[in-house]
């Protein structure tokens, strides 16, 4: 809650310095872990360094560590991304840089304040196989989840140890997440509609040695909100801050841009999929999202989903283990047809968008039951 209060004050233009109060109980360690979970430790460190935020010396030192690792990690991921982009350019493959590896450079105070675990890239569907060959040629190993055929994760061959859970370590594991669509699929039969960027919703970015593409407005805000909302029970504070920074930079005072955003969301039937994160971002910094746009989004959102969102707060949106995995997928249901599609998906799993055999369906259901039971037990057994 304290980190959310400080972030809201800093983003709203409160006079400096903003006092970050020391929490009671576990104190500094608990605050550091909360900042790690929310993805805001490095940003807090930057604000402390610049005098925007003031805190006890122990807390200031803690967030200075977060910032130091954030900066070194940004340099490391920049190097890895340069290597990947150059290899894709050698094959004349167009690539879009998505999410934090883009916004960290263009919207945050500096790249190290927007820590990332993954490098998210988008390629044309026709270039998917060639792009996978490029990553394989760089020595990366594919880790693909059968329920997400549009995405694949590529990791270095060597084991990447988790060095700490107190902050985003400079040498923490990283991966390249490759996508061939901006859509997300909560389950087979329900898919978001942002599709693929066109010429009017992309821009060329010269941050790297080889030019890359990034999303332009209004698609950028819609995609960031879609991605943040898709992690319904785990919307981290940094993703909400990201939306605030993008809206402040690109939309403040531009009614026509909000109209274009509303048109895009309506055309792609994406209102319910972007509403949760934008509503929470607006409650973090009131007024950052256009009133009319937010009303239209709320009107396109099922009543149950609106009620769930309104029961959350920006500081408490991310929930720690256990995640209600199936509920997170089913919050988007808006019709009996979608409910039926969800039931079919639940009863008969798919791999690579094809129905599995009856034997594999039974095995998949048993794995789901075991995971659910394990989450229930772990949630109720007191920790030693």
Asked if the model's pLDDT at residue 352 lies above 80, the reply is no
Asked if the model's pLDDT at residue 350 lies above 70, the reply is no
Across 198-220, average pLDDT: 93
Q: What percent of the chain has pLDDT over 70?
A: 86
Across 368-379, average pLDDT: 60
Q: What percent of the chain has pLDDT over 90?
A: 66
Give the residue numbers spanning the domain of 359: 325-380
State the pLDDT at residue 348.
Answer: 67
In terms of residues, how long is the chain?
384
State the pLDDT at residue 186.
Answer: 80
Give 119's contacts (C-beta < 8 A, 6+ positions apart): 77, 80, 81, 84, 97, 101, 174, 175, 176, 177
Which pLDDT band, with edges at 50, 70 and 90, does 345 fall under? confident
Residue 13 inside a domain? The answer is no
Asked if the model's pLDDT at residue 6 lies above 50, the reply is yes
Identify the residue with better confidence: 370 or 13. Answer: 13
Residue 132 inside a domain? The answer is no
Across 174-188, average pLDDT: 90
Say whether 9 sits in a helix, a strand or coil: helix
Residue 360 inside a domain? The answer is yes
- 39 sits in the region (left: phi over 0; alpha: psi -120 to 50; else beta) called left
Distance (Å, whole) CA 339 – CA 336: 5
Count of domains observed in the chain: 1
Residue 232 inside a domain? The answer is no
Which pLDDT band, with edges at 50, 70 and 90, does 163 fall under? confident
Work out the number of other CB atoms within 10 angstroms of the CB of residue 163.
14
Residue 229 inside a domain? The answer is no
State the pLDDT at residue 107.
Answer: 98
* Two tokens, residue 248: 């402040």
- Per-residue model confidence as pLDDT tens digits over 294-329: 999 999 999 999 999 999 999 777 665 445 556 677
- Per-residue model confidence as pLDDT tens digits over 69-84: 999 999 999 999 999 9
Residue 341 inside a domain? The answer is yes
State the pLDDT at residue 383.
Answer: 41
Asked if the model's pLDDT at residue 258 lies above 80, the reply is yes
Across 274-289, average pLDDT: 97
Across 27-49, average pLDDT: 93
* Two tokens, residue 299: 């009107």
Distance (Å, whole) CA 9 – CA 11: 6
State the pLDDT at residue 66.
Answer: 97
> Do 45 and 65 meet the contact criterion of CB atoms below 8 Å apart?
yes
Residue 277 inside a domain? The answer is no
Q: What is the DSSP letter of 187?
A: B
- Per-residue model confidence as pLDDT tens digits over 124-150: 999 999 999 999 999 999 987 655 556
- Per-residue model confidence as pLDDT tens digits over 217-245: 999 999 999 999 998 888 999 999 999 99
Which pLDDT band, with edges at 50, 70 and 90, does 165 fall under? confident
pTM of the model: 0.89
Asked if the model's pLDDT at residue 377 lies above 60, the reply is no
State the pLDDT at residue 376.
Answer: 53
Compute the mean pLDDT over every residue in the chain, rounded to the nearest whole number: 88
Residue 332 inside a domain? The answer is yes
Work out the number of other CB atoms within 10 angstroms of the CB of residue 6.
22
Lowest mean pLDDT among 67-76, 151-160, 253-262: 151-160
- Residue of 249, 228, 248, 224 whose CA lies nearest to 237: 228
Helix 28-38 with 2-11: angle, nearest 10 deg: 60
State the pLDDT at residue 148.
Answer: 59
Asked if the model's pLDDT at residue 368 lies above 70, the reply is no
């Amino acid at each position: 809650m304290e980190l959310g209060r400080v972030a809201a004050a800093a983003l709203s233009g409160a006079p400096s310095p903003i006092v970050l109060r020391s929490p009671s109980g576990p104190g500094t360690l608990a605050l550091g872990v909360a900042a790690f979970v929310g993805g805001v430790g490095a940003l807090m460190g930057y604000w402390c360094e610049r005098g925007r935020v003031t805190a006890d010396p122990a807390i200031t030192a803690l967030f200075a560590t977060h910032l130091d690792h954030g900066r070194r990690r940004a340099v490391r991921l920049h190097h890895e991304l340069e290597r990947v982009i150059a290899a894709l350019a050698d094959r004349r493959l167009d690539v879009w840089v998505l999410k934090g590896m883009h916004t960290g450079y263009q919207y945050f105070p500096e790249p190290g304040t927007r820590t990332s675990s993954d490098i998210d890239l988008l390629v044309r569907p026709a270039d998917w196989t060639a792009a996978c060959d490029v990553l394989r040629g760089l020595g990366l190993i594919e880790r693909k989840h059968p329920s997400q055929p549009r995405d694949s994760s590529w990791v270095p061959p060597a084991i990447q140890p988790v060095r700490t859970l107190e902050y985003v370590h400079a040498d923490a594991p990283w991966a390249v997440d490759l996508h061939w669509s901006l859509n997300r699929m909560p389950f087979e039969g329900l898919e978001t509609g942002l599709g693929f960027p066109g010429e009017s919703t992309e821009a060329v970015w010269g941050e790297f040695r080889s030019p890359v593409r990034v999303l332009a407005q209004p698609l950028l805000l819609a995609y960031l909100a879609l991605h943040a909302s898709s992690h319904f029970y785990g919307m981290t504070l940094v993703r909400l801050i990201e939306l605030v920074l993008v809206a402040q930079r690109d939309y403040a005072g531009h009614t026509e841009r909000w109209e274009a955003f509303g048109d895009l969301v309506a055309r792609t039937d994406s209102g319910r999929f972007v509403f949760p994160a934008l509503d929470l971002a607006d409650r973090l910094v009131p007024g950052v999202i256009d009133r009319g746009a937010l009303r239209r989004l709320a009107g396109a959102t099922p009543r149950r989903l609106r009620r769930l969102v309104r029961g959350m707060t920006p500081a408490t949106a991310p929930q720690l283990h256990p995640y209600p995995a199936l509920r997170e997928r089913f919050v988007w249901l808006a019709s009996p047809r979608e409910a039926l599609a969800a039931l079919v998906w639940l009863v008969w799993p798919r791999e690579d968008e094809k129905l599995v055999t009856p034997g594999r369906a039974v095995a998949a259901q048993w794995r789901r039951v075991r995971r659910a039971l394990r989450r229930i037990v772990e949630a109720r057994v007191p920790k030693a």
